[in-house]
A and B are shown apart, each in its own frame.
Chain A
């Protein structure tokens, strides 16, 4: 830091906003010394989280998740396909994460954000490896027809902790998903049975009787923390992420098992005790998120 005296003198006279822009690190450290953050949260607490299921009426399953200002919209569309030779009785899931230019001033049209493919790959790996979804449930007729679930997640507002919000919205969309009723017509092609036909006579027997939901085992939840000197900040905002670059993301499932741990380098070298503290914070957060997800689902059922 160039001239500590100069900034020290200026800091007593300058306005708070100017100090925040010119000396962001000192601004945040001043708060951390008091164990608090600029938005008045204690160091270990996440921002207010809300979840709304069924946000997109035209999709088979959808959810809108907000953590603070970070907003993610996830929607699942089901299509039929022929399963591969190696796994004839399994369906398939394709996960894509998009950061359109509306979400942040640093995303330029024509050049995708750096974070987008990273979060996309992380999400894909986490969801597929957590075993949340049994691919055999996505099969229709073994060896011939199976479901392909396309999950698209759009970031509508990027204010830090993108992976957490994206994972939450993906999980919520899967729990909201209702598989459409289909029947095989004479050509052997699969046709979606629309609502009007369900009441009347059906020419062909539907392959699956009713709109069913997937059974989800071991739902993964995550928490991203920032390590800075000897502080651990849970659920960073975009401002905090840009100043203090060391991120640790821990993914636990609902039974408390570790699904994934991600620390992509960063200037702070952490002792294993710091990582264990992150895991403890995540454990606490998983309980909160579980409650929020259950409340959202019971709200849907009441409707």
Chain B
């Protein structure tokens, strides 16, 4: 099957180095301390952050830092066929662990000892790149909750099909069986916090694909900064500053 046409267009009309359209909204869940909706093309994710609050399970309390918990679940209707087990299956548990460790690395947990920060992610529509959309949504939600972080964490995926590196794969391209590289970075510090890849890839091509994914992450970071700036201006305006 041809994923990149001879003219250089992908299945959904994008160029190989073009990301899908991103859209973010802060404060979607009124009850949460911080929340955000993040869309990358047709993938739509809601993140809600509760915390810092009292640890619910006393035995897990850490005396010198905050406990970070993360749960990833997909809605039954998020994928093409209705899902039977939206959470608790292996994939959801793995993604929950990965996102928790990614966010934990950048939250300044030593400032909030004996407390708990909960990050909940709900996928409403899944069209490839759910892991990345979740990390981006979690960053926005943590910022909305006012939790101190070292830097934003942004994430994007890239692949290699028909001998072309492709940025931001959708579901069809992802299930093509080619390599799928997911990268998560701290943009200002320029450090990589998450790097996952499956399938085989020669080293030099891997460097290209990873570089492409990092460019994507930086583009997402610029967008997230704009959204946060808008949000702060609105808050200032409401306060009458």
Contacts and interface: CB of A to CB of B under 8 A. Distances in A.
B95 interface: no
Interface stretch (B27-35, B179-187, B221-229): B27-35
B20 interface: no
- Interface size class on chain B is 20 to 34
Interface in A260-287: none
A77 B77 contact: yes
A264 B214 CA distance: 56
A156 B77 contact: no
A108 B118 CA distance: 10
Contact of B31 (A79, A105, A154): A105
B120 A100 contact: yes
B71 interface: yes
Contacts of B56: 108
Contacts of B170: none
A156 B35 CA distance: 11
A160 to B, nearest CB: 10
A158 B31 contact: yes
Interface residues of A, number: 30
B77 A59 contact: yes
A238 B53 CA distance: 19
A32 B230 CA distance: 38
Contact of A103 (B31, B71, B80, B125): B31
Contacts of A58: 42, 77-80, 125
Interface string A99-113: 011111100110000
Contacts of A57: 42, 125
A176 to B, nearest CB: 13
B135 interface: no
B46 interface: yes
A152 B76 contact: yes
Given A101-B71, A105-B53, A152-B75, A56 B31 contact: no
Contacts, number: 81
Given A69-B31, A109-B120, A102 B76 contact: no
A71 B28 CA distance: 10
A62 interface: yes
Interface in A191-223: none
B167 interface: no
B4 interface: no
Residue from A77, A156, A158 whose CB has the most chain B CB atoms within 10 Å: A156
A154 to B, nearest CB: 6
Interface string A42-75: 0000000000000011110010000001010101
A4 B79 CA distance: 57
A102 B77 contact: no
B118 A159 contact: no
A159 B50 CA distance: 15
A96 interface: yes
B66 interface: no
Contacts of B29: 71, 102-103, 156-157
Given A102-B35, A102-B121, A157-B28, 19 more contacts: A58-B125, A62-B77, A71-B29, A73-B75, A75-B77, A77-B76, A79-B82, A100-B73, A101-B120, A102-B46, A105-B31, A105-B50, A108-B56, A109-B118, A150-B77, A154-B122, A157-B30, A157-B31, A238-B31
13 contacts: A56-B77, A57-B125, A59-B77, A75-B77, A79-B82, A100-B122, A102-B29, A102-B120, A109-B69, A152-B75, A152-B82, A156-B28, A157-B32
Interface of B: 28-32, 35, 42, 46-48, 50, 53, 56, 69, 71, 73, 75-80, 82, 118, 120-122, 124-125
